[in-house]
Every structure is written in C-alpha cells, then in structure tokens.
C-alpha cells in the first residue's frame, strides 16, 4: 500500500517554504486512527457527577438508573461508562501500561481517546489580598496539585487568561509555577489605610468593571465544552464581580450593562460545559473595620469617630457582598464554597474527592439539535442524591438574528488552535521535539516534527500553514516559528494512507518551556494543535551534555536551513516499527570544555524490554569527537527483538560526569509479504473450488439465525511497563508483586446472517443479556425486522448492530470500534467477485478436526478495502479448505495491523471454526476466537464465542 511522506524545514516568523512529497514507507510505520467500522448514529457524550447527602460520589450505578431528558423528553442512551479514579489508579499500579511514564516530550498527541482522567484548573485570581492571604493561596494551590490522581492534568491560570502553566500531569512543574508568581493586583489593607484609599475594583484600568475575571472563566468553560471528562475549576480569590449597580456619573463607564452581558455569557458557558466551580477564600477569619487594625494612624485629620464608624459600615458591606459573590458560581455548577477558614488548604483533598467517581453517558439527541440551544436534564433512580452535568446543548451556530461581526481574520482558526487552553483535536496531530546545541553558547535549536497525516485527505496540492509558539514558566511568549507551504500528493495516492510529517525549529535559551504547534489547511481553514513541554539544557562548554534522542527511518537529503540542527536522519514521530523495516536512533554528545578534552567519553547503549530486563547492550569505550561534539547513529536491532515494547537507553560518561537519554519504541511482527498471485494449476484449482463452494453457499443461505455466547476479557500483556524513573531492581520488585487479573464480560445475543444474492451476505448481532442481566426483552428483533428484507429493515438491523457493539470490552483509554466481529467475515475474500482484490499462495497441508485441508494464504491488495478502517489497513489471512468435498471451508483466520495516530496500533486476529449442523444440512461457524493487542496501553482484548440453536428463516 503506497504511503506518502512530506516534510518542511522552517526558519522563523513569516518565512515561506514549500512542502515536497517524498518516497514510500512500509505499512507498519503508518500513522492513522484505530480500526473503526464506519457505521453508527449521532450521539452526545456528557459527564455526570452523582453525590450523596455527604457529598460523597455515588458508585455502582447502572445504565438503567439514568434517564436523559432533552427539552423534557426522554432520549435513548447509546453508551454508558462508570469512571472511578481510585479503581483506575489501583489497576494501573497492577498493570502498568507500557510507555505510561516516559518523558512527556517524547511524542505528544492531541488525541485523548477514551481518557477519563480529570482536568483541574487552578485560577489564582486578582482579588487575592497580598501578604498572608497570598501565602495561603499558594498553599491551597499546592494542596490541589498534591491531591491529583495519576493521569489528572492541572493548569495554573491567572486572571486575564494568562496560563503560566498549561495542562500537565507534572506536579513538580505545577508547584514551581505556583511558587514563582504573586497574583495580587490590589493594594494591601495597610496601603489603603495609609493614604491609598479604598480599592475600586470596578475602576481598575487593568480589568475595567472586573470583566477580566468572568471572561477568563467563560473562556475556560468554552474550551472544555464537549470534553467528556470531569472538569473542575478552583477559584482562589476573595471576591468576584457578577453584578454592578449605577455609579457616580464621573466614574461610570457603563459597568452595569457590561457586567450583565459578561455574566450572561458566563452562565451560558458554564451551562453547556459541565465545568464545576469551587470557590476558596484565602483570607481566613477576616477582621473588618479600622478599629481591628494596628495600621490606622492616630491623629490623622478628620479621622473622628463618625468617620471611623462610616468606614466600618462600608467595609462590612463590601465584605458581605464579596463573600456572597463567591457562592454564585458554585451554586450554579454544584461546587463548594470555603470561607472563613484559616487553613482552607486542608479541605482541598475533600473537594477533589467529590469527582473521584462519575459517569459518562452518551445519548442520541433529537434531530436538528445543533441549530438552537436545548435543555438537558439527567435523572438518577436514587433518593437523596445531587446530579451535576451540563445543562444545555449549545447551538452549533449563532441564531439568525445575531448581529454579524466583523469578517474574521483568515488566520483566526490557526491562532485559536494555538492559544486555546486545550489542544484542538480535530484533525489529529502529533509532535516530537528534540534539543541540540544552537548557533551560540546561550541558545539551543529545538527541532519540531509534526505528524500532519490527517491533513493529507486527497490527492493534489494541499496548502498548509504551520505555527509554533514557545512560552516560558510565567506564560510569556519567548519564541516561535511560522511558515506556509503545500503538500503535493499525486493521483496515485488516492485512497492510500498518506504519512505527512512537517519539520521546523525554534531557537531558545536554556530553560523550561511550554511548546505549542498548530497546523491549518489554508483552503478549508481546518486547524488543530498539539501541546507539550520541554526542558532545554545548557550545552555550554562546562559540562557533559546530550541532545535528545531522535528516531528516523530515512537519511537526510540536502542541507537544512541556517540555524536548524543538522542531523543525518530525518526525524519522525513514529514509535512503532515493523521487524523487517529499517530504523535508526541518533544522539549528539557534547563533552566538557577543552581542559577536559583529553579525557575519553564512553557510551553505553542498552535496550530494555517491557519487564525492565536488558536484552541488548553495546559499549563504545571512546566516542569519536570533532571538536566538542560526537554524533552517535545507531540502527535499532529490530530483527533481534521479539514483537513488543522497548526502551533504548544511552548513557555517556566522562571522568565523573554522567548524562543519559531514553526513548521508547515498539516492534511489530514483519508484514506478511505475498507476491502477486502466481497461477499454478494447484492454486487455480483451490481458488476455483472455494469460489464455487461459496456461490452454492450463498444460494443456499436465506436467513440463518443462531444464539451466541460471547466471553470477553481485557488483560495486561505479560510483564510491567518500563518506567524510566525506576531502577532495574525496583522494576523487578514491581514485577514480582504484579497481578494481571483480567476484566471480563459475558454476553448473549441473537446473530443473523442474511443472503443478499449476488452481493453475498450480511450479518448482524443483537445483544439481549450482559453478565447474566437482561438488557432488553428476549424477543427476536432481528428475525422480525428481517422477515421482509428491505433497505429500511437493513438500516434498522445495522443500528441494532451498532447499539450492540457498545457491549464490547475495550482497553483502558482506547476504544476499538468493531461491529464486524461476526464469524463469516473472512469468507468475503474468497468470493469469485473478490478474489482479484488479493494475492494468494498455497501453504502447507494441515489436518483440522480430522479433515485433511489445503491451506490458502492471502493478502489484500486493492482499495477500497473490504473491511473499512480509517487508515485503509489491508487484511491478511489463512483459509483451510477441504478439497475432497468440493472446496468446503473448514476454518478461517483473519488478521489486520491498523496503526493509530501516534502509535495507537491495534493488532487483530480472528479465527473461526466451522462444523456441520444436521438440521440445516450445512457447515456453519460454531466457534470464534478474537484477539486484539493494543500497543499503547500494553493490553490484550480477547473474545471467545460459541454458536448454538441454529434455525433457518425463509
């Protein structure tokens, strides 16, 4: 299957570079979404929190306990998932999915798949009083970071939407950001008493009318709208302006209306997002009035008792208004208010504990839902519980009566994707970054590689705009790159999965940075973004340092632009490689200064498997240097490694100085290569016999039903993940204590196979029981619908199949959409009309169930594929044929390797055994075994189905 590459090297802001097409790449290196059968209905997925009277999360609820109302009318629930952070943490501790703890800058993606971890926004507001309240505010924020569950992401936000630290799971980075800034914008009480006068929050020109606070929360709510995860905002501050009355004419700048308009936008945003707001006041037990403070100077002119009393009344009124304002947003969203507590940080763990468990409910909205706003209500069949979720479905476009705004900038989608709080995930985008010594001692060159394959959706010229933005630890922009170009895809690429990678660079001084990249199609204005962070070391002459490790599958052609890191291989975001495909790792070593140049630098190269066991080792006792640097280029030992997950570790030593780097990669089985069919008499006879048998089979089939018993399990692959933060001994200890208990499910269903004449057949599954519990009445819907086969009845049957597919077990954080796991799928490749689509060869004869069989192997060649996946992955398989009995099919095996975005590869294999059913006088599937290996989560999904009670419908 042809796969196209494209790449660019960027220069700086405003530079233009063309994006040129390049050669082919093996199918095992493609970056494309997970296997998905393209069928289904439109659904909306919302997260639902259910709390009891003590604000404890209610666990153990079932789908049948929930009712979703849209505009007061019940809507069908299409999928349901209970999320429990505590249980998930325990499972991760036991299973340790591969790659989970590798450095975040290895490969970043904007695809969260089924990620159910929480998003926590810590808003340090301008209203935090200086001095002690600011200290307490930092303690509150630190307590929230400490209470994060594994996988949770938190961001530090300040009023005005400055994000000193974007969403990350790195607690050290979050703590460092919290300690590095002072967010107070008002004068202290002492400053006010000593002449500054009362602080006028409405008149502060830095945030006129206080709108910046509501605007910040509105933007956060809008950014997380449609993200089906628990979203929590901790508002740390002493007040929030949600209403403003008339002011003195000389001071009035229209705050009353401006605040009202901002409040309406905020309430709408909160209603559609499901964001829960908790307000925490860091002031503690406040003392109100000048008599309580030592800062009131005696003898100030006109400071008599009447003035002091008036000041007391004014402060008391302002204090009560401020405390009351803090309760508005929690009351609206189901959050808490923490006031008048000298140690509010001690209550933060309990606040986050409320979202430890919640539910994801997907329902089918009414037609036309996207045109206007619709009310949502979720009811739970439990007494005394509080249910919190989104309250509206937002309109997808503004109402017709809305006033048209100014024509937006053509670059607006790119800028929005680049500057949002969350990465824009449509289309998919991936990024890897690597730091090298730069043009001078004070700067480094950061190479950026973007997987933009999702933008290459058709042959021809595809114009793309690329932007990269770097921000320091205080959220200040410090660098970036931007360029335009075109991906040229030839007509021969139609229907193939194009692998397009864009490369650029930025120059930065040593430090820690938030790195963002966005790509936009200039014709369609479709844009997406991806975020990561990177720590840039100092490549000065004073120490032994290493660049990041770069992986690549081809050599560099031509020289890079001035200032870009010159390396011999083209960097790639791919981390999954076939065993028979070439791939290299590259690292640059920078030795200490000239005074130490005589001291040799040794390099140890180690490959660790998923259990932390060393499987390969090489020692380079004396690296060859040119000046201060030495280039190390190593072939990855694919052919010597069994399929699985690995970590490549490189360790450099010079005297007592040490430095190391690591990178993860995965080896997949070599792609089974079958040359175009060479027609021999034996092969032609086998193909003809199989085609004739299936033709008779299709004429014989009218409608055959059976009852299916289907047992599924999700099991961690043997071993534990390679945790780069652990020692080998701790990994071995973890392995010895690891349990791998599978997650299981048992379903019972009616399966129907319908003959379609010359078109072959179709098969559908209708689940009626899950884990011993009926999910519907056991009436045979399929047989009733299909008694009279029409296009409408087939469409109903497909919808039933999609509905039943939601009972398929999936590995954690990854969804495998499969509505085609029905037993006769492999026979499609042997139909006479389809044989030209695949390459065939004869294998060794084998005996199956006492029957001597000829084995026939095939690889799909033509497109579109018979089994649809979003990356058009080809199918491969083996068929066991009884030639003595006219080409009868005795057994089939079908396999696929579908590469997901950023290595979410899924390896599937389905084996089916046939047997004779006397009452039908027909050989039919009686056993089906499935296996799906998910590389990213280091888990296996298995299924074992048996078929009984066959019956025929005419």
- The CA distance from 214 to 265, in Å, is 9
Q: Is 162 exposed, middle or buried (0-12, 13-18, 19+ CB in 10 A)?
A: middle
Q: Is 792 exposed, middle or buried (0-12, 13-18, 19+ CB in 10 A)?
A: exposed
pLDDT at 456: 80
In total, the chain counts a number of residues equal to 954
The helix or strand, by DSSP H or E, that contains position 888, with its residue range, turns out to be strand 888-898
Residues 6+ apart with CB under 8 A from 205: none
DSSP 3-state assignment of 640? helix
| DSSP letters spanning 797-817 | HHHHHHHHHTTS---TT---B
Q: What is the dihedral of CA 265, 266, 272, 275, to 10 degrees?
A: 170
The helix or strand, by DSSP H or E, that contains position 323, with its residue range, turns out to be helix 305-325
The helix or strand, by DSSP H or E, that contains position 881, with its residue range, turns out to be strand 875-882
DSSP 3-state assignment of 344? helix
How does DSSP classify residue 171? H
- The CA distance from 910 to 896, in Å, is 9
Number of Cβ within a 10 Å radius of residue 725 = 8
- The CA distance from 616 to 646, in Å, is 10
Strands 629-635 and 584-590 come out as antiparallel
Q: Do 352 and 152 touch, CB atoms closer than 8 A?
A: no
- The CA distance from 120 to 224, in Å, is 11
- Residue closest to 435 by CA, chosen among 517, 519, 337, 505: 505
- The CA distance from 355 to 171, in Å, is 19
pLDDT at 127: 86
pLDDT at 329: 93
Q: Which stretches of 161-208 are assigned E, i.e. beta strand?
A: 162-168
- The CA distance from 701 to 760, in Å, is 10
Count of alpha carbons within 13 angstroms of residue 414, beta-carbon side? 21
For 23, the token pair is 């050669």
pLDDT at 724: 33
Q: Which residue has the tokens 């299909």?
A: 786
pLDDT at 217: 93
| DSSP letters spanning 596-635 | GTTS--EEEEEEE-TTS-EEEEEEESS---BTTEEEEEEE
Count of alpha carbons within 13 angstroms of residue 91, beta-carbon side? 20
- The CA distance from 741 to 722, in Å, is 20
Q: In angstroms, what CA-CA distances link 146 with 100, 132, 141, 744?
A: 19, 21, 9, 33
- The CA distance from 345 to 282, in Å, is 9
With DSSP H G I counted as helix, E B as strand and the rest as coil, what are the percentages for the chain, rounded to 5?
25, 35, 40
pLDDT at 286: 65
Count of alpha carbons within 13 angstroms of residue 492, beta-carbon side? 7
- The CA distance from 295 to 145, in Å, is 36
- The CA distance from 517 to 563, in Å, is 19
Number of Cβ within a 10 Å radius of residue 466 = 24
For 950, the token pair is 């066959």
- Mean pLDDT in each 10-residue stretch from start to end of the chain (954 residues)? 34 29 26 34 81 93 93 88 76 48 64 75 89 90 93 85 77 88 63 56 75 90 87 92 71 79 92 94 72 50 59 63 84 92 93 92 74 86 93 60 52 86 83 90 91 82 92 83 82 58 91 91 91 88 88 81 82 86 90 68 90 88 82 89 89 89 85 62 90 86 84 68 34 38 80 71 80 74 63 65 67 52 83 87 89 91 75 83 92 79 66 91 91 73 90 75
For 218, the token pair is 């509105």
Q: In angstroms, what CA-CA distances link 653 with 434, 436, 545, 622, 657?
A: 21, 19, 10, 10, 6
Q: Do 782 and 797 touch, CB atoms closer than 8 A?
A: yes
pLDDT at 938: 65
- The CA distance from 586 to 571, in Å, is 9
pLDDT at 137: 93
């Amino acid at each position: 299957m042809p796969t196209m590459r494209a790449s660019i090297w960027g220069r700086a802001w405003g530079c233009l570079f063309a994006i040129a097409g390049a050669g082919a790449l093996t199918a095992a290196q493609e970056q494309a979404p997970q296997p998905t059968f393209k069928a289904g209905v439109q659904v909306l997925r919302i997260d639902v929190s259910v709390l009891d009277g003590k604000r404890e999360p209610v666990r153990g609820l079932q789908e049948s306990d929930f009712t979703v109302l849209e505009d007061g009318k019940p809507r069908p629930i299409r999928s349901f998932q209970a999320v429990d952070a505590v249980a998930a943490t325990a499972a991760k501790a036991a299973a340790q999915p591969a790659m989970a703890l590798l450095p975040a800058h290895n490969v970043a993606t904007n695809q969260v798949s089924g990620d159910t971890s929480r998003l926590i926004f810590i808003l340090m507001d301008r209203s935090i009083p200086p001095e002690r309240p600011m200290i307490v505010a930092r303690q509150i924020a630190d307590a929230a970071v400490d209470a994060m569950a594994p996988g949770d992401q938190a961001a530090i936000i300040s009023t005005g939407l400055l994000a000193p630290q974007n969403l990350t799971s790195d607690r050290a980075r979050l703590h460092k950001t919290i300690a590095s800034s002072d967010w107070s914008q008002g004068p202290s009480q002492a400053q006010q008493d000593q002449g500054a006068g009362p602080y006028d929050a409405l008149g502060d020109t830095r945030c006129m009318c206080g709108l910046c606070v509501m605007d910040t929360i509105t933007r956060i709510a809008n950014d997380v709208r449609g993200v089906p995860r628990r979203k929590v905002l901790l508002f740390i501050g002493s007040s929030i302006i949600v209403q403003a009355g008339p002011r003195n004419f000389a001071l009035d700048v229209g705050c009353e209306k401006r605040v009202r308009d901002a409040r309406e936008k905020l309430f709408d945003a909160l209603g559609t997002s499901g964001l829960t707001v908790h307000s925490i006041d860091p002031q503690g037990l406040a003392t109100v009035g000048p008599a309580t403070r030592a800062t009131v100077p005696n003898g100030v002119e006109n400071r008599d008792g009447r003035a002091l009393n008036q000041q007391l009344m004014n402060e008391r009124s302002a204090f009560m208004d401020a405390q009351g304002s803090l309760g508005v947003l929690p009351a609206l969203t189901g959050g808490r208010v923490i006031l008048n507590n000298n140690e509010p940080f001690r209550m933060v763990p309990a606040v986050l504990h409320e979202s430890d468990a919640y539910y994801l409910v997907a329902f089918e909205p009414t037609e036309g839902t996207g045109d206007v706003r619709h009310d949502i209500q979720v009811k739970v069949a439990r007494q005394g519980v509080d249910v919190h979720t989104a309250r509206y479905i937002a309109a997808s476009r503004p109402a017709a009566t809305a006033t048209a705004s100014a024509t937006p900038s053509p670059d607006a989608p790119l800028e929005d994707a680049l500057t949002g709080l969350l990465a824009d995930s449509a289309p998919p985008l991936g990024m890897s970054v690597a730091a090298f010594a730069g043009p001078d001692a004070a700067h480094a060159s950061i190479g950026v590689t973007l997987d933009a394959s999702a933008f290459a959706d058709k042959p021809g010229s595809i114009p793309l705009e690329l932007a990269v933005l770097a921000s320091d630890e205080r959220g200040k922009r410090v660098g970036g790159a931007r360029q335009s170009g075109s991906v040229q895809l030839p007509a021969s690429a139609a229907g193939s999965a194009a692998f397009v990678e864009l490369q650029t660079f930025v120059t930065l001084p040593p430090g820690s940075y938030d790195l963002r990249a966005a790509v936009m199609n200039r014709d369609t204005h479709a844009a997406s973004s991806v975020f990561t962070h990177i720590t840039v070391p100092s490549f000065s002459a004073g120490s032994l340092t290493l660049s990041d490790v770069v992986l690549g599958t081809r050599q560099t052609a031509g020289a890079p632009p001035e200032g870009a890191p010159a390396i011999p291989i083209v960097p790639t975001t791919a981390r999954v490689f076939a065993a028979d495909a070439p791939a290299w790792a590259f690292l640059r070593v920078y030795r200490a200064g000239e005074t130490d140049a005589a001291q040799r630098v040794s390099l140890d190269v180690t490959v660790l498997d998923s259990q932390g066991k060393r499987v390969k080792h090489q020692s380079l006792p004396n690296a060859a240097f040119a000046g201060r640097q030495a280039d190390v280029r190593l072939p990855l030992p694919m052919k010597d490694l069994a399929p699985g997950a690995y970590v490549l570790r490189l360790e450099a030593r010079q005297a007592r100085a040490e430095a190391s780097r690591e990178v993860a990669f995965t080896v997949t089985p070599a792609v089974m290569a079958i040359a175009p069919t060479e027609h021999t008499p034996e092969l032609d006879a086998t193909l003809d016999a199989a085609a004739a048998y299936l033709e008779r089979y299709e004429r014989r089939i009218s409608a055959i039903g059976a009852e299916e018993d289907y047992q599924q399990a999700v099991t961690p692959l043997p071993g534990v993940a390679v945790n780069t933060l652990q020692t080998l001994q701790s990994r071995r200890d973890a392995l010895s204590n690891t349990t791998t208990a599978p997650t299981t499910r048992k379903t019972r269903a009616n399966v129907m196979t319908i003959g379609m004449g010359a078109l072959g057949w179709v098969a559908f599954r209708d689940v009626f029981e899950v884990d011993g519990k009926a999910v519907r009445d056991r009436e045979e819907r399929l047989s009733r619908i299909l008694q009279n086969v029409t296009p409408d009845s087939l469409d109903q049957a497909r919808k039933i199949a999609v509905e039943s597919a939601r009972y398929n077990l999936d590995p954690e954080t990854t969804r495998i959409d499969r509505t085609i796991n029905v037993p006769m799928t492999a026979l499609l490749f042997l139909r006479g009309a389809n044989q030209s689509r695949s390459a065939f060869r004869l294998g060794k004869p084998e005996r199956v169930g006492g029957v001597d069989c000829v084995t026939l192997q095939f690889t799909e060649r033509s497109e579109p594929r018979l089994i649809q996946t979003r990356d058009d992955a080809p199918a491969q398989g083996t068929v066991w044929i009884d030639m003595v009995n006219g080409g009868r099919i005795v057994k089939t095996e079908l396999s696929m390797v579908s590469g997901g975005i950023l290595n979410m590869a899924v390896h599937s294999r389905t084996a089916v055994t046939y047997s004779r059913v006397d009452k039908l006088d027909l050989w039919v599937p009686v056993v089906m075994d499935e296996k799906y290996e998910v590389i990213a989560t280091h888990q296996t999904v298995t299924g074992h189905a048996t078929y009984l009670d066959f019956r025929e419908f005419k």
